[in-house]
Amino acid sequence: MNAPMNPKAITWNLGDIVAELRTVRTEWREPLGRLRRDHGGGREFPSQESLRQIIKDLCGALFPMRLGPIDLREETEDFYVGHTIGAALDALMHQVRLELNYTERNHHPDAGEIEQRATDIVRAFGAALPSVRRMLDADVIAAYQGDPAARSVDEVLLCYPGVIAMIHHRLAHVLNKLGVPLLARIVAEIAHADTGIDIHPAATIGRSFFIDHGTGVVIGETAIIGDRVRLYQMVTLGAKRFPPGENGELKKGLPRHPVLEDDVVVYAGATILGRTTIGRGSVIGGNVWITRDVPPGSNVTQAGTLNTAPDAGCGG
């Protein structure tokens, strides 16, 4: 029987590993130099861990008696909300500074200017929280009313991944509009990892929105969704084509995702691509593929298109 090796005698060739990893990093960075910004030798990117905690705290502040601490009492609710929002905004201020410094590094911005911009962004974000809560209330009610399995609005808020994704999206959308898109994208991707629902923070989503079940739903950057829209699992609101720019890179920011007007329902597995408009009150059946406009009041299924003009866009 062989004697166990003395742990002190084991070596991992760490010097060689570190040197080779340095070489790999250099090889990766040099050709991508025009796509990257000089960060002055330090880690100056926002932190996903910090943002996850900030959003968790804000969820508690938005819905204190449901998502706040287990021992919270109504008589101390306002104190908890104020204290929690204050701490979350302080932490967010640091993350906003990091993004602004990162995006403006090559322009050598004045530190006072960055501080003022960060303050304005965080103050505006805080001021938007009551309207975010109102939008989320409408989303929660839509989920409760739209799902016969839901026994209470509390169950919807505590359990439904579509509602969790929308809390993140409503907050991320505000950050995106205020000019910190990297922070917004990180918040969106936290929800994506937790729920399987992928909503770009720039997507515009109206009131009383409900994603039932939710797994696999994808909503692209330039999608526009009206009021009282309902989606089911595995729905994709994506782009049909990606035109290249002068350098061969894909053009950014072009309107390339669908528009869903008010009161549209899209059932499981449907794929809607391109700047396609789904008219008000239409019902899109499961697993169809749509790349053309659908008139208002249509009923589109795999077998054909019902109650609408011929060739209205059923690609199934």
- For residue 280, what is the domain's CATH number? 2.160.10.10
Q: What is the pLDDT of residue 104?
A: 82
Q: Is residue 307 part of a domain?
A: yes
**124 assigned to some structural domain:** yes
- pTM for the full predicted model: 0.86
Q: Domain check: are 133 and 273 in the same one?
A: no
Residue 31 has what pLDDT? 66
For residue 147, the SS3 value is coil
Confidence (pLDDT) at 141: 97
Q: What is the pLDDT of residue 314?
A: 37
Instruction: Kindly give the confidence (pLDDT) of every residue in the chain, 316 residues in length, as a single tens digit, with 9 standing for 90 and above.
Output: 566 666 666 788 999 999 999 999 888 877 655 455 444 555 678 999 999 999 999 999 999 999 999 999 999 999 999 999 999 999 999 999 999 998 887 677 788 899 999 999 999 999 999 999 999 999 999 999 999 999 999 999 999 999 999 999 999 999 999 999 999 999 999 999 999 999 999 999 999 999 999 999 999 999 999 999 999 999 999 998 777 777 767 777 789 999 999 999 999 999 999 999 999 999 999 999 999 999 999 999 987 555 554 443 333 3
Token pair recorded at residue 45: 């990117």
Residue 296 lies in a domain: yes
In a domain, residue 269? The reply is yes
For 14-59, the pLDDT digits (tens) are 999 999 999 998 888 776 554 554 445 556 789 999 999 999 999 9
Q: CA distances (Å), 116 to each of 108, 112, 119, 121, in order?
A: 15, 6, 5, 9
Taking the C-alpha atoms of residue 300 and residue 310, their distance in angstroms, rounded to an integer, is: 11
Distance CA 184, CA 246 (A): 28
Please indicate, yes or no, if residue 33 is contained in any of the structural domains. no
Q: How much is the pLDDT for 18?
A: 94
Q: Looking at the structure, tell me whether residues 148 and 72 fall in a common domain.
A: yes
- Residues counted in the chain: 316
Strand order in the sheet with 305-306: 210-211, 230-231, 265-266, 283-284, 299-300, 305-306
Q: What is the CATH number of the domain that holds 152?
A: 1.10.3130.10
Examine the domain organization and report whether 179 and 226 are in the same domain.
no
Structure-token match 């706040």, residue found: 68
55 with 191, same domain: the answer is yes
CB half-sphere exposure, 271, CA atoms < 13 A? 9
Structural domain range at position 231: 216-243+252-316
Residues 102 and 52 in one domain: yes
Tokens for 101, please give them: 């410094």
Verify that 178 and 236 share a domain, yes or no: no
pLDDT at residue 310, as a whole number: 41
Output the CA–CA distances (angstroms, integers) from residue 302 to 78, 230, 282, 306, in the order listed: 52, 19, 15, 10
Counting the structural domains of the chain, the total is 2
In a domain, 223, yes or no: yes
Task: Specify whether 76 is located in the same domain as 112.
Answer: yes
How far apart are alpha carbons 4 and 265 in whole angstroms? 65
236 and 184 within one domain = no
Helix, strand, coil: what percent of the chain each, to 5? 45, 10, 40
221 close to 192: Cβ distance less than 8 angstroms: no
The verdict on residue 154 lying in a domain is yes
Q: Are 232 and 213 spatial neighbours (Cβ–Cβ below 8 Å)? A: yes
The 3 state secondary structure assigned to 202-253 is: CCEECCCCEECCCCCCEECCCCEECCCCEECCCCEEECCCCCECCCCCECCC
- Please tell me the predicted confidence (pLDDT) of residue 42: 57
In a domain, 59, yes or no: yes
What pLDDT, on the 0 to 100 scale, is given for residue 313? 39
58 and 98 inside one domain: yes
From the list 22, 26, 52, the residue with the least C-alpha distance to 190 is: 52
pLDDT at 2: 67
For residue 303, give the DSSP letter: S
